[in-house]
Amino acid sequence: MVMLDLDGKKIDVEKQLEDLDRADCEDNLYTFLKHAWRYIDSSPFTPGWPIEAVAEHLQAVCDGEIKRLLVNIPPRCSKSTITSVAFPAWVWAQRYSSHTSGPGVQFLSASYAGQLSTRDSVKCRRLIESPWYQKLWGNRFQMASDQNVKTRFDNNKGGVRLSTSVGSALTGEGMNIGIIDDPNGAQDAISSQAVVESTIEWWDGTMSTRLNDAKTGAYVIIQQRLAENDLTGHVLEKDVGEWTHLCLPMKYEADRAFKTSIGWEDPRKDEGDLLWPDRFGPKEVKNLEKSLGPFMSAGQ
């Protein structure tokens, strides 16, 4: 649509709206997620402060403000969608390039199950190849034709998104941002202490040494709590003070209320207030507690 301004000059209204959308999405990961949602998930987008908090902390990773981010959040709260799918695509869309921003960023993403890492890798690639993304950021980079498979795809600016499973050998692989999305499955962590210990050994001996540049690279661990000595417990005990800890329990507990370095704090005030009532109201939380049992419910 073309219109004339007061001086008779032509105005391309559609292009102006496109430029505004591009700028809004680049400036804010949460806004990007809302626009991108229809290309990621068939269910309607449910707004909520918890996922906005996660988005702003991931944005701080991209900006170089946070080098070690640890997020604890209950299951089914869109943690993989924002962290493993939308975040890498958003980082590659950034106009300004740094070690953790722009299309040259190299990602390594791991989950307890290889098929979950692959699932999110495919979703991320589909988002990048969507008409919406290509219209707004297709001129920033192109996907490399010689390395574009489910578990790894590259772009022509040096960017990489590699997916793997916890415990895998990573010899020769490096990254600017490492994402560990649920390092253990719920049942595995509960039934086998050996699984938890092997995850910690993999973190200490393999994943924690894979940054291309230890001074500028970043790690993101996002998981539901499963045991006191899970990966969250391990890194907090071993490297206390190094990690920005965003703790989002399903029910508010004053003694676990978070306040992070970028100004976020839990907005809830009363004990037992729910995390995201629009997604998990009293009935849904009660049913979840029944299915999880008392031990796993306490972890959430």
pLDDT tens-digit profile of 264-289? Answer: 999 999 999 999 999 888 888 887 77
Query: Residues 269, 299: contact at Cβ < 8 Å?
Result: no
Give the pLDDT band of residue 225 (cuts 50, 70, 90).
Answer: confident
Query: Residues 103, 157: contact at Cβ < 8 Å?
Result: yes
Average pLDDT over residues 56-75: 96
Identify the pLDDT of residue 90.
98
Mean pLDDT rounded to a whole number for the chain: 89
pLDDT tens-digit profile of 133-145? Answer: 999 999 999 999 8
E-strand ranges in 129-233 read: 143-148, 152-155, 160-165, 177-181, 218-223
Q: Which helix (H) or strand (E) holds 110?
A: strand 106-111
Query: Residues 205, 237: contact at Cβ < 8 Å?
Result: no
174 alpha-carbon distance from chain centroid:
19
Identify the pLDDT of residue 276.
94
Give the pLDDT band of residue 297 (cuts 50, 70, 90).
Answer: low
Q: Sheet holding 177-181: strands in order across? A: 143-148, 152-155, 160-165, 106-111, 177-181, 218-223, 68-72, 244-247
Identify the pLDDT of residue 9.
59
Tell me the pairing of strands 218-223 and 143-148.
Answer: unpaired
Cα distance between residue 93 and residue 116, in whole Å: 24
Give the pLDDT band of residue 173 (cuts 50, 70, 90).
Answer: confident
pLDDT tens-digit profile of 92-121? Answer: 999 999 999 999 999 999 998 889 999 999
Average pLDDT over residues 149-156: 92
Token readout for 221 is 């661990």
The per-residue b/e assignment along 165-189, b for 16 or more CB within 10 angstroms, e otherwise, is: bbbeebeebbbbbbbbbbbbbbeeb
Token readout for 120 is 């999110």
Identify the pLDDT of residue 196.
86
Residues 6+ apart with CB under 8 A from 280: 74, 76, 250, 274, 288
Average pLDDT over residues 146-170: 89
Give the pLDDT band of residue 91 (cuts 50, 70, 90).
Answer: very high
Query: Residues 222, 82: contact at Cβ < 8 Å?
Result: no
What single string gives the DSSP state of each residue in 258-275?
-B-TTS-B----STT-BS
Average pLDDT over residues 1-14: 56
pLDDT tens-digit profile of 177-224? Answer: 999 999 888 766 565 788 888 999 999 998 988 899 999 999 999 999
Give the pLDDT band of residue 256 (cuts 50, 70, 90).
Answer: confident
